[in-house]
Amino acid sequence: MIATNFTAISLEPMGHLAGTATAITGFISTTAGALIGSAVGQLFNGTLQPLFGGYALFGLLTIAATLWAENGKLFTHPGDQAAEHDHGGGHI
């Protein structure tokens, strides 16, 4: 679900090219996933250590890349930045 939501958010400004952009990002992510999965699979030694290590390493890289791309802010929508500066009343 996270990848789908991130893709939708990133393609929001590309309305007229969203189909093409989705196809390209899908191809890149599938190819990269297959290559990374193959590399982790080559480390198999009869235990779950390579699998756990791959999940941990690439999970941390994903979080770091997301923090970098979002300037350290997670779980915000680009349109919500204006609302952060609005300190007016009206909130219940």
Can you give the C-alpha Rg of the chain in angstroms? 18
Closest by CA position to 3, among listed 38, 32, 44, 45? 32
What is residue 43's three-state secondary structure? Answer: coil
Q: What pLDDT, on the 0 to 100 scale, is given for residue 22?
A: 84
Q: Report the Cα–Cα distance between both ends of the chain, in Å, rounded.
A: 30
Chain segment 49-75, per-residue pLDDT in tens = 999 999 999 999 988 988 898 887 777
Question: Is residue 8 included in any domain, yes or no?
Answer: yes
78: containing domain = 2-84
Which alpha helices (DSSP H) does 11-48 contain, by range? Answer: 18-42
Number of domains composing the chain: 1
Question: Is residue 90 included in any domain, yes or no?
Answer: no
Question: Is residue 28 included in any domain, yes or no?
Answer: yes
Q: Enter the pTM of the model.
A: 0.61
Question: Is residue 36 included in any domain, yes or no?
Answer: yes
Chain segment 3-58, per-residue pLDDT in tens = 778 778 878 888 788 888 888 888 998 999 999 999 999 999 999 999 999 999 99
Q: What pLDDT, on the 0 to 100 scale, is given for residue 47?
A: 94
Q: What pLDDT, on the 0 to 100 scale, is given for residue 86?
A: 52
- Residue 50 makes CB contacts below 8 A (sequence gap 6+) with 40, 41, 43, 44
